[in-house]
Structure 1
């Protein structure tokens, strides 16, 4: 878990800076929002799979 946090925190710190830089560069919110949507679409396949009708251990309905 320590390695994930040491990589995750710097990446999450760069996100708002990049978002603001895209806004400053383009002068519009469209490019940062499209970029954000693209990141979500790229990371979506990497979420943990959850089978329909089954909950993770300790999960609630």
Structure 2
């Protein structure tokens, strides 16, 4: 039996799940499910602030040591 640690999909910055389909913004990935929910969310909805906070990760530079 051969074991491989092959990465399938990307980690969504909103839901923290590995998904196969979505969009890449700079070094971040947003899955198609979260993208759809964000588009449908009204600005007066409680979820709106959650999405804004999650998207702030995009502007945070990655620090590699």
TM-score tier (shorter): 0.3 to 0.5
Bigger Rg, which one: 1
More helix by share: 1
More strand by share: 2
Q: Which has the higher contact order (CA 8 A, sep 6+)?
A: 2
